[in-house]
Chains A and B, each alone.
Chain A
Amino acid sequence: MTIPFTHMLFLAILLFVMGAACAMTRKNLFLILIGVEVMLNAAGIAFVAAAMRWLDMNGQIMVLFVMTAAAAEIAVALALIICFQRQSGSTNADRLSLLKG
């Protein structure tokens, strides 16, 4: 089995750019979070591909920490969205600009 490392890198970069575009252009807070999740997932793919390229387990272990960070981030972010939704009745990111004094 010979898969070029660059193909995996292209896959990771493509997914990362897709996630970033989603996070930057969407208005719904949930869809922004989905974009962030896609970006983290792309980083994980790049880490695993690099771990295989250099035959080094450290890359795989980093993915575990990325998953931990993603889980913690999503829990807090969803709690913040619920909090914000209770106050303003909306999950639209535009409404967050009303926080300005």
Chain B
Amino acid sequence: MTVFNIIFYIAAAIVVGATGLAITRKQVVHAVCYLVISFMGTAVLFYILGAPLLAALEVIIYAGGIMVLFLFVVMMVKDTPPSIDKPSRVKRWLPAMILAGTSALISGLLVFADPGNRLRPPIVTGTPQEFGNILFKDYWFPVEIASLLLLAALIGAHYLGRRADHPEDTP
């Protein structure tokens, strides 16, 4: 039991706890704040699992970018009235239960098919240099597609978010 094991389990507990709090909040702002904690814990996990660049990106993109965008929009949008109709508890929870059962089944199969694997590698396996080499040598085409996806998302978000009463915004 080294210190990294202890850090791993503490970080995992923080991630699970913060996510559990996030998905049960009624207020969206509270949920987003807990989710930021969850993403910070995930970054620690990534670092321990040998992905320092992804740990940094997790903080920058997820916690710093996506969640801040979320907060902006949540504060832009007015408070929402409560639900119109109240469906039964079964109708609400049945799909989630089915999914949980399926996931448990698949994970059980995965675990029993490959049991007892212990990870003993060094703390950092993937340096950013190695990461970039593989990314731009073997994955240059997916990188282009990802950039195109981001461009499409940018244009789409701008088009959907424009105001109809601003004539200069309409194309």
Contact = CB atoms under 8 A, between A and B. Distances in A.
Contacts of A30: 28, 31, 70, 73-74
B134 A61 contact: yes
A3 B118 contact: yes
Interface residues of B, number: 86
Given A31-B28, A38-B38, A53-B117, A3 B8 contact: yes
Contacts of A18: 16, 19-20, 23
Interface in A43-85: 44-45, 48-49, 51-53, 55, 57-58, 60-61, 63-65, 67-76, 78-83, 85
B10 interface: no
B95 to A, nearest CB: 5
A24 B80 contact: no
Interface in B119-171: 119-121, 123, 125-126, 130-131, 134-135, 138-139, 142, 146, 149-150, 152-154, 156-161
A1 interface: yes
Interface in B85-128: 85, 92-93, 95-96, 99-100, 103-104, 107, 110-111, 114-121, 123, 125-126
Contacts, number: 226
Contact of B16 (A14, A34, A71): A14
Nearest to B25: A31
Helix, strand, loop or mixed for chain A's interface? helix
Interface of B: 2, 4-5, 8, 12, 15-16, 19-20, 22-23, 25, 28, 31-32, 35, 38-39, 42, 45-46, 49-51, 53-54, 57-58, 61-62, 65-66, 69-70, 73-74, 76-78, 80-85, 92-93, 95-96, 99-100, 103-104, 107, 110-111, 114-121, 123, 125-126, 130-131, 134-135, 138-139, 142, 146, 149-150, 152-154, 156-161
Closest 8 interchain pairs by CB?
Answer: A72-B153, A22-B23, A79-B160, A79-B157, A5-B117, A2-B118, A79-B161, A21-B96
Interface of A: 1-11, 13-22, 24-28, 30-31, 33-35, 37-38, 41, 44-45, 48-49, 51-53, 55, 57-58, 60-61, 63-65, 67-76, 78-83, 85, 89-92, 94-95
